[in-house]
A and B are shown apart, each in its own frame.
Chain A
Amino acid sequence: MNKTDYIRYLLDEYYNGTLSLSGERELRSYFAGDYIDPELEAERDMFLALGDIQVPDELEERLNETIYSLDRERKTRRIGLRRWIMRAGAVAATVAIVVTLVLPSGKMTDEEIIGSMTREEVAAHTTRVLELMSRTINAGSESAGRATSVAIEVINSQSDNI
């Protein structure tokens, strides 16, 4: 049986509705090929048309893969957002702890305040305190001097009266 006779045999089976799926694929493949026996040319457009509307086998798998890929992408995005929220929360908590520890509160003792200062800050505060003490002592000695002068003047005037 030559090729054309074989195709004709498949066509008879096809039109009887008895041809297997693999036989139908053979027919479509033949009519989609470069050489078609001129005697069978009339069948070509019909087989090409039926081939055109046949849903490709790979489409279902391609669509399922697309759906799973979209699902994975969404899950990854959700995990990314969750991680971002967790990281932001961790940063916020760290900042809160640092602020609490670094900024002096009203309940801190003198030792704690001094302990939280740098050497330079301690030196600057000490200098300031000493300056204030010095000014106070100076002011005190001037007052004492003025009081002494007044007292001497009073004593002198009283001794003159005596």
Chain B
Amino acid sequence: MNAERFQQLVMPHYRRMYLVAIRLTADTADAQDAVQDAVINLWQQQAKLESAGNIEAYAVTAARNAAIDITRRRHPACDIEDATQHDMSHDPATALSIKDRVEHVMEIIDDLPDTQRRVILMRDVDGCEFDEIVEATGFSHVNVRTLLSRARATIRKHFANI
């Protein structure tokens, strides 16, 4: 398998891989390292990758395993749950930990209606332009903005209630 073929198989899933990794590591640098480690592991198992029925699931599992490895390596005394609590934001006394924030926002997004979830993931996670979202979803510009507005309002409401 050459590099181009490998990219075609794996790169469409790197955002999902990152989301899994950031939930486990609660650290953007560690999450990026985990995704990179996962890609290297997948490269070394190309034969299995070709025959894997669901490449996205395979890639996400590789990212999960790499994230767990990195967390254990960097915080050997902690178990995986404790280890992800290490990185607090500005004020440890009042602010949510990164892990809490990530878990919370991902749970809210997971509970959104399909259309809203799709649009907010493309915009707020992937950083897509409105034109790209319109093209990918087939929704009108007005629809995209409305769905995005509703999704953000829902997330804001949940965070306001913490």
User: Which residues of A are found within 8 Å of B28, using beta-carbon distances?
Assistant: 52, 56
- Within residues 80 to 102 of chain B, which ones have a CB less than 8 A from any CB in chain A? 89-90, 95-96, 98, 101-102
In the assembled complex, A96 has its CB within 8 A of some CB on chain B: no
Which of A14, A67, A70 is most buried by chain B, counting CB atoms within 10 A of its CB?
A: A67
B interface secondary structure, majority: helix
User: Which residues of A are found within 8 Å of B105, using beta-carbon distances?
Assistant: 46, 49-50, 52-53
User: B162–A17 contact, CB under 8 A?
Assistant: no
B93 CB to closest chain A CB, in angstroms?
A: 14
User: Which residues of B are found within 8 Å of A46, using beta-carbon distances?
Assistant: 105, 155-156, 159
User: Which residues of A are found within 8 Å of B90, using beta-carbon distances?
Assistant: 34
Which size bracket describes the interface of B in this complex?
Answer: 35 or more
Which of B3, B11, B14, B148 contacts A17 (CB under 8 A)? B148
- With A67-B39, A67-B43 as contacts: A45 and B32 at CB distance below 8 Å: no
User: Which residues of A are found within 8 Å of B78, using beta-carbon distances?
Assistant: none
User: A21–B127 contact, CB under 8 A?
Assistant: yes
- Within residues 1 to 54 of chain B, which ones have a CB less than 8 A from any CB in chain A? 2-3, 6-7, 10-11, 14-15, 18-19, 22, 28, 32, 35-36, 39-40, 43
Q: How many inter-chain contacts with C-beta < 8 Å in the A-B complex?
A: 104
B106 CB to closest chain A CB, in angstroms?
A: 7
- Complex Cα–Cα for A108 and B69 (A): 71
User: B149–A53 contact, CB under 8 A?
Assistant: no
In the assembled complex, B126 has its CB within 8 A of some CB on chain A: yes
- Stretch from A58-66, A76-84, A122-130, A139-147 contacting the other chain: A58-66
User: B102–A49 contact, CB under 8 A?
Assistant: yes
A45 CB to closest chain B CB, in angstroms?
A: 5
- Within residues 81 to 109 of chain A, which ones have a CB less than 8 A from any CB in chain B? none
Which of A17, A52, A63, A71 contacts B39 (CB under 8 A)? A63
| Interchain Cβ contacts under 8 Å between A and B, 26 examples | A15-B149, A17-B147, A17-B148, A42-B160, A45-B101, A45-B159, A46-B105, A48-B89, A52-B22, A52-B28, A53-B106, A53-B125, A54-B124, A55-B15, A55-B126, A56-B28, A59-B14, A59-B32, A62-B36, A63-B36, A63-B39, A66-B40, A67-B10, A67-B43, A70-B3, A71-B6
A interface residues (Cβ-Cβ under 8 A, vs B): 14-18, 21, 24, 34, 42-46, 48-50, 52-57, 59-60, 62-64, 66-68, 70-71
